[in-house]
Chain A
Amino acid sequence: MSTAPTKGSGRVTRVPTYCYQCVAGPDLLTVKVVDGVATEVEPNFAAAGYHPAEGKVCVKAFGLIQKSYSPHRILTPMKRTNPKKGKDEDPGFVPISWDEAMGLIADKLNTIRAEGLVDQAGYPKVAASFGGAGTPTQYMGSLPGFLSAWGPIDFGFGSGQGVKCYHSEHLYGELWHRGYVVTADTPRTKYIISCGSNIEASGGVCGVYRHAEARAGGAKRVQVEPHLSITGACSAEWLPIKPKTDAAFLFSLLNVMIHEAKREALDLPFLRDRTSSPYLVGPKGFYLRDPETGKPLIWDEACGKAVPHDTVGAIPALDGRFSVPAAFELGADDDRWTHEAVTGVTAFTLFAEHIAQYTPEWAADICDIPVKRIRQVATEYLDHACVGQTIEIEGKTLPYRPVAVTLGKTVNNGWGGAECCWARTMLAVVVGALEVPGGTIGTTIRINRPVSNRLESVVAGPDGFMEYPFNPTDRETWQSKPSIRNAYRMLVPLSANSSWSPALGPTQFSYLFLDEPQEHMPRATLPEFLLVYRTNPVISFWDTDRIANALARFPFTVCFAHTRDETNHFADILLPDRTDLEGLQMIRIGGTKFQEQYWDCQGFALRQPSVPPPGETRDFTDIATELSKRTGLLEKYNTAVNRGAHGVPLKGPTWDFTLPVDREHSAETIWDASCKAASAELTGGAETHGLEWWKEKGFRTVPFSVLNWFLTPTMVEKGLRYELPYQERLTRIGMQLGNRLHEIGITWWDTQLHEYHQLPEWKDFPKYWEDHVVECGGKVEDFPFWVVTTRSMQYAWGSNMHIPLMREVSSHIKGHDGVVMNPLAAAKLGVKEGERIVITSPINKSVAGRVVLSQGIRPDTVLMVSQFDHWATPVAKDFDVPSMNKLTAMSVSLTDATGSGADLSRVAIRKAGPDEQGRRS
């Protein structure tokens, strides 16, 4: 009798490897291989005791087998034969040999090297566009070694960075508490206010697991969002807020806590000792400083006078106005005001007075949330904060504040994002829940250094705060001419200048400025050489027609291509790499990392070939080595690899597995050395396991203390304060930036300069988008709806739209087949479920799709899940589902001071006519 489908007979092996298709990974998995054919993906059960989610594997990883075996794969290098580039032009790709492909690429690069790496405008001639949040790095083998050896490259051609990420949080989070991505300490949290965060869809395995555990433990989460997302579904309550009004909601919560709750309900010692709350502010809005030391003053209640903030034994006054006999204020550039008998107000008092205007009654109308619910949330948050309580972790007693606030992307990005980040962080600050168990904590750092340990990045800076590597704004060192086309160092001091910073600037400007040059800035030029990997900006960015139009003009584009897609449609050369189940690479695992990866161990995992490589595909490391050789960079490249550009330094205090720099090394050789170095790094040189050992074991970790998850103990240890609530330093920087820009005549960034404010204030943020309608020549009343988007767990970050399995299973989740709309709105438009509508944005772009009715969305908002609308990617091009990316505008006026824009737009909607029933309008 046969009762189970066949499992496939033959020689069975289980290959341990990892999936890092998305930023929420890596997920450790095993691939079941039968007679050399991958048949099943399973969790790596051996990782259960190490991985924070018992070694479970995300739904996306199950698509890897179809990904490997897709008949649509590009299996040989290809060359474009049609010199004309355009959406409607057939590229005429023909197969070529690797030798020819590498020859063509090397010729181009060698010409550039010979003529100069930057063009006349000062921009790098070589540009690279890689997919979101560093995922491509975990598949590109040793290519970082080549990139490092090359020299200046414009990494600012984004594919959604700045608009599809947690942008404001990245910058402000790192500034305030080394939190590039900010989460709840979920397993210990009892109350979460989640403004638009869709952790159940974008938090990966660990996000899903941790929040499920928290729910089982009785935690309460309130979801504040215009539509009932997956996370809303999994929350105790849903508050359908008006789009882009989250800052008002969060401000009003602060108002209740500061002005309605008992003061003792707040964590007063935390405010006093760990924040800038007691710093005295002078009449010009800057800190009153000690004439002798220049340090900000506090009012010492012990001796009844103003003293420098770090005076030993002082008891700082939190609240009040105090007379200071002598002090000075330090403004922007050369501004300095000396005072005698001046009144100093504590930053906390200014904060409390500032927040007094934002009552729940005020916020209710703006947010469309009942006053009662606002008060209830504020009260419940305070009730759950456990102010004064402690918890023991690994033998150490820490504060226990099980409340947190998390922010989603559109809340985080664009206008209003900075205010939300500030309010969210202040909500943690007022109850002492910042960077302590149960509270609001950061995952990792990408701007500060060392990237491997965020606690070590806590270095004393000015005024008792942490150091932060702002891009300079002083006259001498401000970068008046951009180094890359998106001008991040020039315009965005907060973006700093780490390897991630080019993608943390206004990446949309890289494309926008090509066609809309800005006054008093070198005109953006087309890069002579563009390298693209694991990204599809023609689909994933905004105003996607504009991106396509730009790429059509790029003279030479090389795409690593898995299948044809909308971006490599414009390529000159396609290169097939050995991908997820075929390539060789190591990844660092463990520690703490976005999205919600909190491990109690850290180490490395190996990605190894599970199946034989198909066709002419090549391992990325071999490609990088050959590229280096053909461009005369082999020595520099090998040196970079030895240094660890590919992820593992080959030399340590007591070990040296460095490779000779004067010759080529195979991928196996490089990764064998890397495996040995990784083993040694983990064990202080005790272990030196090579590639074969790692192939068998898959991963290796060493303990990582949970105490490392929390920054506050380090702040205490180093006697530092969080730079909250008062933004004195940022205000000064903003003023200086304004001075610099005005000195060279730039006034088009003036609106952005208003974001630099001591105490962030509510502006009518939704109106920025209404004003944009007018700017585009439209009338606001003609665009009565908001369109928003939401992540799909089956697709988020995955570059996996061409995998039929993902399409199949995602169809169970509402919204994957059309535009989600409230029945009330549909009735007004006279459309029914399944009928087609046409959605038009102020930039006069339209998409059409089927109506999906849902009670779980505001009647003034429609939702387009994920990012569809493909026209070249196999499988996906037959979906017939619209994307909002075509509709959303790239514009300076919708870009905030951090360089980000929010993922939403005002739109007009009408029923599609009989002639508009096809794929697109």
Chain B
Amino acid sequence: MTKWAIVADLGRCVGCQTCTTACRHANATPPGVQYRKVLDMEVGTYPDVRRVFVPVGCMHCDEPPCRDVCPTTATKKRADGMVTIDYDICIGCGYCIVACPYQARYKVSKPTFAFKGEATANETKRFDERLLGVAQKCTFCVDRVDYGLANNLTPGIDPEATPACVNACLSKALTFGDTDNPDSNVSTLLRQYKSFRMHEELGTGPNIHYLWESED
């Protein structure tokens, strides 16, 4: 089997938001809709303070609450773990938005553009009416992954088959790969480093793994 996942090395991430912008480009999302973004968290009290940059987005959960609540089956989980939305079925009830404990889903009802009133040439070119009034979120760049698999490329290794955020990451904090494959890039990292997953206690089985310390 295959289970796609992202490993985010918190020791490497610098919060530059290059992944955020790359994702905005790759998915042509409207202003403020960020399938991927990096949080800036502060821990401790002066002078013993730490600042941690935490990439977040859809966790493509093993047990996705969004999928469980979806009344239309628009949200599905593929055999390879990706949680997808069929924009042509979704009715935009917003139930998945409140079901997601990772605040990963968005719904935009009206066309919105970077410069307010008018769409720029690229926004016009890429405007996707299907995404109005329905839920949207990180797709793990499913189109790139599927294209790669169809062309004998390795997602997570070959850039054409890898999510845009991972390709863009300056610090190599983000790695995409198959956790079911013990020899994969992500499996290797998960062996080498201690990791945790966000809100794991909720039983969602999230598939972004956060590395926080070397095993040795």
Contacts and interface: CB of A to CB of B under 8 A. Distances in A.
Direct contact of A and B (CB under 8 A): yes
Contacts of A218: 214
A41 B11 CA distance: 27
Given A4-B141, A233-B50, A240-B46, A62 B22 contact: yes
A883 B31 CA distance: 25
B16 A8 contact: no
B143 A57 contact: no
Interface stretch (A154-162, A208-216, A699-707): A208-216
A692 interface: no
Contacts of A804: 31, 114-115
Interface string A32-70: 001101111111010000000110111100110110011
Nearest to B143: A4
A433 B69 CA distance: 61
B39 to A, nearest CB: 7
- Residue of B28, B84, B122 with highest tally of chain A CB at under 10 A: B122
Interface residues of A, number: 70
B86 interface: yes
A811 to B, nearest CB: 9
A213 B173 CA distance: 10
A789 to B, nearest CB: 17
B5 interface: no
Interface stretch (A110-118, A318-326, A736-744, A855-863): A855-863
B49 interface: yes
Contact of A209 (B49, B143, B172): B172
B16 A59 contact: yes
B94 interface: no
Given A43-B168, A71-B115, A212-B172, A2 B46 contact: no
Interface string B60-81: 0000000000000000000000
A813 B51 CA distance: 11
A72 B116 CA distance: 12
Given A45-B159, A62-B21, A810-B17, A72 B167 contact: no
A201 B25 CA distance: 22
B24 interface: yes
B201 interface: no
A228 B49 contact: yes
Interface in B134-179: 136, 139, 141-143, 159-160, 164, 167-173
A813 B17 CA distance: 9
A3 B86 contact: yes
B130 interface: yes
Interface string A1-12: 111111110100
B20 interface: yes
B49 A37 contact: no
Given A7-B126, A805-B114, A812 B25 contact: no
Contact of B49 (A42, A215, A808, A855): A855
B168 A57 contact: yes
A809 interface: yes
Interface string A235-278: 00010100000000000000000000000000000000000000
Given A71-B118, A804-B31, A57 B45 contact: no
A814 B42 CA distance: 10
B37 interface: yes
Contacts of B53: 233
Contact of A66 (B87, B120, B131, B169): B120
A3 B115 contact: no
Nearest to A814: B40
B215 interface: no
A213 B9 CA distance: 12
B27 A4 contact: yes
Given A6-B128, A70-B115, A209 B171 contact: yes
A2 B87 contact: yes
B15 A805 contact: no
Contact of B122 (A58, A69, A72): A69
A813 to B, nearest CB: 5
Contact of B47 (A43, A53, A58, A238): A238
Contacts of B20: 59, 809, 812
A822 interface: yes
Contact of B29 (A5, A45, A813, A858): A5
Contacts of A813: 15, 17, 40
A42 to B, nearest CB: 7
Contacts of B40: 812-814
A63 B187 CA distance: 34
Contacts of B122: 37-39, 65, 69
A53 B170 contact: yes
Contacts of B16: 58-59, 200-201, 208, 793-794
A228 B51 contact: yes
B42 A69 contact: no
A8 B28 contact: yes
Contacts of A132: none
Contacts of B159: 43, 45
A58 B172 CA distance: 13
A854 interface: yes
Contacts of B28: 5-8, 39
Contacts of A280: none
A205 B125 CA distance: 30
Contacts of A53: 170
B176 to A, nearest CB: 15
B38 interface: yes
B11 A215 contact: yes
A59 B18 contact: yes
B151 to A, nearest CB: 15
Contact of A824 (B46, B115, B128): B46
Contact of B42 (A34, A212, A856, A858): A856
A3 B142 contact: yes
A905 B63 CA distance: 54
A180 B75 CA distance: 56
A212 B126 contact: no
A35 B175 CA distance: 32
Contacts of B49: 228, 238, 855-856
B120 A58 contact: no
A230 interface: yes
Nearest to A229: B51
Contact of A62 (B24, B39, B47, B160): B24
Contacts of B118: 71
A814 to B, nearest CB: 5
Given A5-B29, A215-B11, 8 more contacts: A8-B28, A56-B18, A62-B22, A209-B170, A804-B114, A824-B46, A857-B46, A858-B46
Interface of B: 9, 11-12, 14-18, 20-22, 24-29, 31-32, 34, 37-40, 42, 44-47, 49-53, 84-88, 114-115, 118, 120-126, 128, 130-131, 136, 139, 141-143, 159-160, 164, 167-173, 214
22 contacts: A1-B88, A2-B86, A2-B87, A2-B88, A3-B85, A3-B142, A8-B126, A10-B125, A37-B124, A39-B122, A42-B168, A45-B159, A58-B170, A65-B122, A212-B12, A232-B51, A240-B46, A804-B114, A812-B39, A813-B15, A855-B46, A856-B51
Q: What are the 8 A-B residue pairs with the smallest beta carbon separation, nearest first?
A: A233-B51, A212-B171, A62-B21, A69-B120, A3-B84, A809-B17, A4-B143, A6-B128
Interface of A: 1-8, 10, 34-35, 37-43, 45, 53-54, 56-59, 62-63, 65-66, 69-72, 200-201, 205, 208-209, 211-213, 215-216, 218, 228, 230, 232-234, 238, 240, 793-794, 804-805, 808-810, 812-814, 822, 824, 854-859, 875
